[in-house]
Amino acid sequence: MISVSNKALDAWIKEVAEMCKPDNVYLCDGSQEEYDKMIQITVDAGSATPLKKRPGCYLFRSHPSDVARAEKRTFIASKNREDAGPTNNWIDPDELKATMGALYDGCMKGRTMYVIPFSMGPIGSYISKIGVEITDSPYVVINMRIMTRIGTEVLKSLGDGEFVRCLHSVGKPLAPGEKDLSWPCVPNVDEKYISHFPEERMIWSYGSGYGGNALLGKKCFALRIAGVQARDEGWLAEHMLILKLTDSDGKFHYICGAFPSACGKTNLAMLEPSFPGWKVETIGDDISWMKFGDDGRLYAINPEAGFFGVVPGTSMQSNPNAMKQIMTNTIFTNVGLTDDGDVWWEGSGIPAPDHLIDWQGNDWTPDCGRLAAHSNARFTTPANQCAVIAPEWEDPAGVPISAILVGGRRKTTIPLVNESLDWSHGIFLGSIMGSEITTADITDKVGQVRRDPFAMLPFVGYHMGDYLQHLLNIGKKTDASKLPRIYFVNWFRKNDEGKFIWPGFGDNSRVLKWIVERISGTGKAVSTPIGNMPAPGAIDTDGINVSAGDMEELLKVDKEAWLAEIVSIKENYKSYGDRLPPELSAQLDALEKRLNG
């Protein structure tokens, strides 16, 4: 049995080993040799295929039951049911521990238990936090080394300090001599558990090996548990990208952006501006932790060290930087494997080969009627390999945030961009954002808007009403002039024929340009009932094919549509009960008055 100097950690490792009964226990040091060894283990086990065309890249195929975050099986086990709120699944923590304790009993037999000390954020930063993940999955060790900082340095920095306990098992013990599966997991979705114990700052995950269910630093820790820590300690743990925008005079601004899944966050974080001389550099593509600096401004770090991006749709048009980045040292999960040892996916912009092996390991041809890559296929790739990573992306002091974007995928109503009147109005706008439900969501609510406040619907670790109140409270802790300005954006407007009327991708830089002009005091705006909108001509459309009529549509305040929106927002707000912040109902009333006034 291994032994570490942090007494609480030492005791926890022993306790978990006694419960899970692995054959071996291994403490990860985070070295390259160790990473190479772990890769070799997965190649030898038949789980990973080296990609001849991409140095240092490997393909994994998951079990068909295990392809995405399992929201229905994600639990917030707070002591009181009300504290989990209306948007989370709740189970009494004692009951859940008893159920999961029985599942964990002996679940690592025949396997090695890996202990991964990891830091979310640059090691030692005042914004960073430490966790320890115990897992029986070599795939998780490999991915955690890319997505976080792991190993001996973290343990040193931890000293005798506190850490978040993250326990993970694929839930497939091996009998003596039993051959392992290429993707061990619990195939019955209803027997998977992704559980959070917010008061104990603890995560227990069982039965899934995929993404956010298993790489516990990401959604489970950095959003759900860190969100509770942030509420208690007065900071922010948000589902936001962080980018640095430099204008042609060399002046730069740091901008965060909250968008629900499938809105192109990774693409925006790495965008290539359509203006000569302007530059976007990436700090993070998914999560932002923000604390007040001594100057009263909010400073952000990216708690992660890699990108876990959706592969399908990634192309030289949507994200040329990611395309270059994933040529080396990248883990692919659930994409197609070409006969010459490369990977292929739908929406890559590369013609489909005549034959490949699909994400389920079957022969595939372009006319077979099946997808080569699963729609949630992923790349795991080191952030420092990104050609446009900002040099200060690991600065332990963080970067001062000037603006926060919020927005979803909306065909109608929500204009291209709208500036909030102040922080409280900005939190109101973030609270009403969301995307239209599509057929991919498999529900009868297609076309309705799923409100996803600050893109935190699946990730808030406590009551959504309390979360929104916490955001409002943060705005009262400093001078209003020091707070980031909040902008509601929508790249996804469509015309009556169902066609997008805004080009998106690199041209979203035109909106970012107006935003930084506003921050600098030069951008022209007109005041409207919903907020400050670009004055006619203030968004530069030189060189793009957007007609004056479309531009008018993109920047129109559609009174009837907004009044209908208010009815649906009221319905949504009702679900927060008495935990709806009064400031937000006041904002909603004020909006209604302005629209009718």
What residues are annotated to the active site?
A: 263
Least separation in angstroms between CB 68 and ligand OXD = 8
Least separation in angstroms between CB 284 and ligand OXD = 11
Q: Among residues 41 and 68, whose Cβ is nearest to ligand OXD?
A: 68
Interface map 452-491 toward ligand OXD (x if CB under 6 A) = ----------------------------------------
Pick one of 238, 286, 452, 553: the residue that binds ligand OXD (CB under 6 A): 286
Residue 344 structure tokens: 């292929």
Q: Among residues 138 and 284, whose Cβ is nearest to ligand OXD?
A: 284
Tokens 């920047």 correspond to: 555
Instruction: Give the count of beta carbons closer than 10 Å to the beta carbon of residue 283.
Output: 26
Q: Among residues 205 and 420, whose Cβ is nearest to ligand OXD?
A: 205
585 contact choice in ligand OXD, Mn ion, none (CB below 5 to 8 Å, kind-dependent): none
173 contact choice in ligand OXD, Mn ion, none (CB below 5 to 8 Å, kind-dependent): none
Gap between the Cα atoms of 462 and 455, Å rounded: 14
Least separation in angstroms between CB 259 and Mn ion = 9
436 contact choice in Mn ion, ligand OXD, none (CB below 5 to 8 Å, kind-dependent): none
Least separation in angstroms between CB 566 and ligand OXD = 28
CB-based burial of residue 275 (10 Å sphere; 0-12 exposed, 13-18 middle, 19+ buried)? Answer: middle
**Binding residues for Mn ion, total number by CB under 5 A:** 1
Least separation in angstroms between CB 459 and Mn ion = 8
CA angle 540, 487, 386 (to 5 degrees): 75
Residues 319-378 that bind ligand OXD (CB under 6 A): none
Which residues, including other chains, have CB under 8 Å from residue 23's CB and lie 6 or more apart? 108, 109, 110, 111, 112
Q: In 3D, which of 539, 440, 556, 568 has the Cα closest to residue 495?
A: 556
Least separation in angstroms between CB 453 and ligand OXD = 14
Least separation in angstroms between CB 260 and ligand OXD = 7
Evaluate whether 67 touches 334 at the Cβ level (below 8 Å): yes
The reply to whether 261 sits near ligand OXD by the rule CB under 6 A is yes
Interface map 200-219 toward ligand OXD (x if CB under 6 A) = ------------x-------
- Which DSSP symbol is given to 482? G
Q: Among residues 13 and 455, whose Cβ is nearest to ligand OXD?
A: 455
Gap between the Cα atoms of 375 and 311, Å rounded: 8
The reply to whether 71 sits near ligand OXD by the rule CB under 6 A is no
Q: Among residues 207 and 212, whose Cβ is nearest to ligand OXD?
A: 212
Least separation in angstroms between CB 258 and ligand OXD = 10
Interface map 227-266 toward Mn ion (x if CB under 5 A) = ----------------------------------------
Gap between the Cα atoms of 226 and 519, Å rounded: 30
- Which DSSP symbol is given to 218? I
Gap between the Cα atoms of 305 and 507, Å rounded: 27
Gap between the Cα atoms of 540 and 275, Å rounded: 10
Evaluate whether 323 touches 315 at the Cβ level (below 8 Å): yes
Q: In 3D, which of 340, 341, 306, 308 has the Cα closest to residue 49?
A: 341
Evaluate whether 131 touches 226 at the Cβ level (below 8 Å): no
Q: Among residues 216 and 554, whose Cβ is nearest to ligand OXD?
A: 216
Pick one of 83, 238, 285, 286: the residue that binds Mn ion (CB under 5 A): 286
**Binding residues for ligand OXD, total number by CB under 6 A:** 3
- Torsion angle defined by CA atoms of residues 342, 286, 197 and 115, in that order, rounded to the nearest 10 degrees: 50
The reply to whether 238 sits near ligand OXD by the rule CB under 6 A is no
Q: Among residues 142 and 222, whose Cβ is nearest to ligand OXD?
A: 222
Q: Among residues 285 and 394, whose Cβ is nearest to Mn ion?
A: 285
Gap between the Cα atoms of 553 and 490, Å rounded: 12
Cα distances (Å, whole numbers) of residue 466 to 87, 405, 576: 12, 21, 9
**What residue is closest to ligand OXD based on CB?**
261
Phi, psi of 493 (to 5 degrees): -65, 140
The number of helices, as runs of H, and strands, as runs of E, in the chain is 16, 30
Evaluate whether 280 touches 475 at the Cβ level (below 8 Å): no
Residue ranges in contact with Mn ion by CB under 5 A: 286
Residue ranges in contact with ligand OXD by CB under 6 A: 212, 261, 286
